[in-house]
Structure 1
Amino acid sequence: MMSPVLGVSFLALVLSGGAWAFAPIGGGASTHVSITGVAVLQKVTDVCRAIAETEGRDFTPTGNSAEELVQACLGPKATGEVSAAKFKSALNEIYVQNGQVDRDFVNSPAHHFNSEAFSEGRRLITDGVASIKANIRKENFQAARETLGRVLHTLQDFYSHSNWVELGYTEPYANLIRPDLPLENLADVSTPTCSDCANGGFCSNSILPNILNEKKLTSGYMGIFSAAKPKGKCSHGGAADLTSSEVPRGGISKDERRSDNMALHTAAVTVATTATLQLLDDIRGAAGDNDYLRFMGIARSSVVAFVIDTTGSMKDDILEAKRVVNEIIDSKKGTQDEPSQYILVPFNDPAFGPLIRTSNPDVMKREIAKLKADGGGDLPEMCLSGLQLALTGAPASSHIYVFTDAVAKDIALKDTIVALIRSTKSTVSFFMTGDGAGARRRRRGLESRAATFETYKDLAVASGGQAIGVTKENLPQATDIIIDSSTSALVTVLQRARNPGKAETFSFLLDESLNNITIYITGKALTFTLKNPSGVTQKQNEANGKLGTVQTVGNLYRVRLASNKQTGLWEISMNSNQPYTLKVTGQSTIAFIYDFVETFEGPHPGYALISGRPKAGMPAMLFVSVLGRKGPASFKVADVALVTASGSVVVGGALEDMGNGDFLVTVTKVPAGEFVVLLNGTDVVSSTMFQRQSTTQMSISKVTIKVSDDDTLPVYIEKRLSFVNHEGAYIAYWDRVRK
């Protein structure tokens, strides 16, 4: 480990040689995060430049921020704006797993190259690299990134915990990533390696001269629970290492820069960075440049998934789904709005699946062309089973669209679906035609087992999506929402739901960076009035008004604002006693991502993702990464708050600026019920205030998490479900388990 917080597990985006992350606990200059960040961004830059040269275009970022790097990497500005949110999220996944090695495997010598566990540590690296390459070939990018984080932690620890740099080596030990090469000249267990450090701390020359002269490789022993170590062996050192108090006392760790090891610490950081670059280059060579960028989360737009009912009554709906898919593919191919991947999950009764996913648009065209409406009878279908398959098979933050004309009979999965939505932060929208099959359900006596259209509404609201009920004839008009949302740099400005409905006025900020602003309203027997900052208004029955166009289909109102929209505070006054939803979206590179975090203790304490949801009535911490148009200098964050879905409770958080657009937000108490995250700030580029909101509704937990350091199933918890998804990644999520 390169510092006491090498276990810190969040993005410290490193540009122009700088490093930042959570403030180091106990001091130190370099961390796993900074070392990994330097190498990852250098390799991404190399790959982006190589691809640009192949395509015959310039690679000229307008600045050194992640946002500008992604924009330059994916193409000229004329093809549209792109967001760096997915890149930053992907890097966070790497850093999370890197840091959590210090929590989950704190007492494993192999994971840290402690206690001369060289063969075991090398095996973790080589097996991990093989797994990364295999997962990239299968397009299992999340699993590959998580494995990369763990592998890099172990690789980097070698240079801090062994005597490699003391032996005078300035280049990485290539044999660590080469399973075909032997590990040579290792000190055996009976060979003394260190002299006693009389002060009991760290000494600058504690490694025995004969070990240095003979180029014998050793590493410090680490004892968290026991002071035992073989006679004459070096210790890791530090207050948490019990072996360091046993003769020979002291330690050889170069985790932090101290007065006795400044040159060695710097050398270890330098060679660990080079080793990280070499490993990344090895992965790049196996993956190819284009898949390497996808592996790193650099892609144009979100994943688009279709969950389609194929029962006999769905002929017209399937034809519309085919038309929409073809339109998306044809209109967005080669642009910044081209989806990074397509997923298809058909369902019938009683069958559902298989899940088909591809980044090749022509393959998706062929697959969806094969769909036929057949079977199903009068029974409701396995809609939620198909949706569950899509949620577990698609990457996080995907857009999922469900086509059906009947209610689901697998209602028992509802709580599981909600848990998966919260875990993956994916958005689910339903297109439901027909009468919901209520009469059929009643005739079959399935009231207790089948869902209703309200079930779909609940799931859509929980995910930040829409539940649209239309006739089969009007379905083509409703699917414009798919075209709207299958776009890059999509952000949510405001989203609210009211059940029961009531008269209420909602305010929202529009900033200069926003384009293609669209307002979606679902509900029945409602009226609304939209007002801009100058006081100009437009009502729901004005199809072409002064502020934009209003399209009505089924229970959906789609309001597209004019391109010359006015920045500032807008209002929309809703009036209905029926349930309704309101959502305001647009395209902008100003965005944010967040996760709930907790501290962990140990020899290298830090922050890690919480396992599950925040606890009821307890303080909580969020790690929030904000992206601007030109990096961290181009925005200022005013406040971050948790807002209940009903809008009646707002809990503000105390902000701690961690640098590089990262903020640690502490709230004294998580609000009860469902809530979202709301962020306000100022865009420095245009001097306009901006507002952004998370789409997925979160909720509190009433159970306690128990973490295990077992390598096969890292988390065990009461009332917590888990599975290994199609990417080979371990997924755990909360569910209300029925006894």
Structure 2
Amino acid sequence: MSANQTMFIFIYLLLILKMNIIYGFDAGFIELISSRQQNKDTTHYGMTVCALCRVTLDYLKSTYNVDTAYLDTKFDETNGQCQEDIVQSIISLLRTSQMKGINPWLYSATVKTIASANTKTDLKEMFKEASHFDSESFIGGSKLIMKRYQSTLVAILESDNYDQGRKTFGEMLHTIQDFYSHTNYIELAYNSPSDVLGKRIFGANEFASADMRTCISCDEQQCQINTNIDQSVLKTKLLTSGYFIPFGFNFLKKFKPKGKCSHGGSFDSTEDDEPKSGINKDKLNSIHGHLHYQAASIAYKATVNILRQLQQDIAKDLSINIVNQYGQSEFAPHNYILISFNNTNATTIINTRKPNDLIIAIQKLNSCENYTSALDGMYYSSLIEGLIQSEYSSVMYTFSDTSASDSYLKYPARSLLRNKQVVIYKLDFIDQLDQNYDGSDLPSISGGLTYPITINDKSAILEFIIHEITNINQIELLTPNISAFSLTTNVMNTQHLYMWKILQPNVGAWRLTASIFSQWINPNVQIQGKSSVVCSSSLQKDMEGNVDSSGYTEFTTEHIIDSDLLILTTCENINFTYANISLINQSG
């Protein structure tokens, strides 16, 4: 390789590093800027943070009846932006409200993980057309969204790899958001998110064919006044997107097909090819920058929608797994009943003897559109409806994310469940480590239990074939100093699940032994810990540009050889000035 060739590649790599700043909605790599100021571009990072915070506040409002009206003013739906202190405001709200089951110190780290994974897609997949809906890659882009959405569910529900699930979800959000910036969806005058993304793959009849002209030439000013989308595309409402071929790649005999739109911008080699100019709406000063806020607004709404869809699909998966477990057991139920309730009524959706019919009904469930989040739900009304239809000695599972508005029906429900000898398992958002029970709740009375719907407890819900434990005398828990820890008071009033609190535990190796389980019982032992300190580590490299306040940047590119790196560990909510830090390998 000649010296000239070496110099060309070196310069080109520098161009790539600069190019990520302008490709797609501005990445916004460092942090959420004060984006409520006028004439500020909407970034991938900022839009994602705002959408996550919006969904969080909606959840707190509907589940805990928290007044979040004063925070609603921090959002601007017209451009997908929000005020820079929104994350800290939510953390303060979580701390002061002391809502059970929610760790406020994990919130900031979770938001940052998802938003950072979004922006890094521009670095890791810059030239993958499907990742950005470039070059009319509608089938590839919609397939990629579906694939990453399913991978997110698998990571959360099957692999217990929540961190990877967040990163994959963030990468998927990038592709969804780029759809509105890189295609002509906005130019076709759509004013709401596409109902395709995350649900199915685009059909060939929904976008322009390979030989169809999609753009006409225009200069920068003319592009702002008169659209450069071909009239045949506008009339047929067919989708198209700009071709993006960076300078340097056009020497590899890559070219834009005749009559097709360009992405546009200073790094797009196709911008001056007929038809000239482009259609991207990445920034206010882009070729179609006059549509930047419209694209950002709908991309923001699409991000909120897919977040809500993920919430629903996780709950559906838990329910379907319970149905499958019982359908395979020797004591399968006589009938399967599904009842939905909100703050106005309780409705029987299905009563069938076929478990597959129940699964199909669960999959079709949607959140109640007419639900008034400030009001509680008709929990006991739906419970009584189910008890009336159920057979004797049935098992009922109830899912709820809100308090009961009809608590006056609790005692009629209790009488009915006793008469029918029904066992109830209530799955909701109560934190068992913080909750005291007096034995008057219906699950305890029936011989069941109340169990929290939290990601960390998901594995116990998926393996919910219950066996009673009649003797715990042979279970022994030894502390690090080899003394026995008293296992006397069970937090749960049930023989299916035992839970003990260990307050201020000693540091060291604890040992739990049990010899009462036969070979056909597979016990599930879980440990839950609470801490206000949240730490995370990342590889860092000394860089001359794109650095944070420490002079380093997170290492996200390909592997490197013979170069120094450092591990940066950051912790939140540290209230001490001195600490001993130890590095521990996999063997401890």
User: Does residue 122 in structure 1 map to residue 142 in structure 2?
Assistant: yes
CA contact (8 A) 1:196 1:250 kept: yes
**What residue in structure 1 maps to residue 243 of structure 2?**
221
CA contact (8 A) 1:201 1:237 kept: no
How many residue pairs are counted as aligned between the two chains?
Answer: 390
User: Does residue 233 in structure 1 map to residue 253 in structure 2?
Assistant: no
Give, in whole Å, the separation in 2 of the partners of 1:92 and 1:601: 23
SS in structure 2 at match of 1:278? helix
CA contact (8 A) 1:112 1:154 kept: yes
**What residue in structure 2 maps to residue 147 of structure 1?**
168
Question: By how many angstroms is 1:158 displaced?
Answer: 0.5
Question: By how many angstroms is 1:600 displaced?
Answer: 9.9
Give, in whole Å, the separation in 1 of the partners of 2:307 and 2:556: 28
Give, in whole Å, the separation in 1 of the partners of 2:94 and 2:300: 23
CA, structure 1 residues 188+600, in 2 after alignment: closer, same or farther (shift >3 Å)?
Answer: farther
Give, in whole Å, the separation in 1 of the partners of 2:168 and 2:436: 31
Letter of the structure 1 residue corresponding to residue 273 of structure 2: E
Note the alpha carbon deviations across 1:87-142, whole angstroms, 9 max, x for none.
12222221232122212222111111000010111111123333334544445533
Give, in whole Å, the separation in 2 of the partners of 1:159 and 1:367: 59
**What residue in structure 2 maps to residue 287 of structure 1?**
314
Residues 478-627 of structure 1 aligned to structure 2 (within 5 Å): 483-484=503-504, 595-597=538-540, 608-610=554-556, 618=564
Residues 323-342 of structure 1 aligned to structure 2 (within 5 Å): 332-333=434-435
| 2:119 equivalent among 99, 105, 121 | 99
User: Does residue 164 in structure 1 map to residue 185 in structure 2?
Assistant: yes
CA contact (8 A) 1:236 1:251 kept: yes
Answer 1 or 2: which has greater helix percent: 2
Letter of the structure 2 residue corresponding to residue 122 of structure 1: S
| 1:46 equivalent among 36, 46, 58 | 58
Question: By how many angstroms is 1:42 displaced?
Answer: 1.0
CA contact (8 A) 1:6 1:31 kept: yes
Give, in whole Å, the separation in 2 of the partners of 1:610 and 1:72: 33
Question: By how many angstroms is 1:692 displaced?
Answer: 5.7
Question: By how many angstroms is 1:244 displaced?
Answer: 2.4
Question: By how many angstroms is 1:160 displaced?
Answer: 0.5
Question: By how many angstroms is 1:365 displaced?
Answer: 11
Q: Which structure 1 residue ranges, 5 or more long, are not aligned?
A: 21-26, 292-328, 344-354, 374-402, 405-430, 433-469, 487-519, 523-552, 555-586, 628-678, 680-689, 700-733
Identity rate, percent: 22
CA contact (8 A) 1:201 1:250 kept: no
Letter of the structure 2 residue corresponding to residue 47 of structure 1: Y
| 2:284 equivalent among 257, 265, 272 | 257
Letter of the structure 2 residue corresponding to residue 149 of structure 1: G
SS in structure 2 at match of 1:97? helix
Give, in whole Å, the separation in 2 of the partners of 1:367 and 1:103: 57
Question: By how many angstroms is 1:185 displaced?
Answer: 3.6
Give, in whole Å, the separation in 2 of the partners of 1:221 and 1:370: 71
**What residue in structure 1 maps to residue 303 of structure 2?**
276
Letter of the structure 2 residue corresponding to residue 214 of structure 1: T
**What residue in structure 2 maps to residue 188 of structure 1?**
209
Q: TM-score, normalised by structure 1?
A: 0.42
Residues 67-78 of structure 1 aligned to structure 2 (within 5 Å): 69-70=90-91, 72=93, 76-77=97-98
| 2:229 equivalent among 198, 203, 207 | 207
SS in structure 1 at match of 2:197? helix
Letter of the structure 1 residue corresponding to residue 216 of structure 2: S
Letter of the structure 1 residue corresponding to residue 194 of structure 2: Y
CA contact (8 A) 1:71 1:77 kept: no
Give, in whole Å, the separation in 1 of the partners of 2:217 and 2:86: 48
CA, structure 1 residues 208+372, in 2 after alignment: closer, same or farther (shift >3 Å)?
Answer: same
Residues 624-663 of structure 1 aligned to structure 2 (within 5 Å): none
Answer 1 or 2: which has greater strand percent: 1
Structure with larger RCO (C-alpha < 8 A, sep 6+): 1
SS in structure 2 at match of 1:243? coil
CA contact (8 A) 1:93 1:146 kept: yes
CA contact (8 A) 2:134 2:242 kept: yes
**What residue in structure 2 maps to residue 31 of structure 1?**
43
CA contact (8 A) 1:8 1:607 kept: no
CA contact (8 A) 2:139 2:203 kept: no
Give, in whole Å, the separation in 1 of the partners of 2:433 and 2:43: 45
**What residue in structure 2 maps to residue 266 of structure 1?**
293
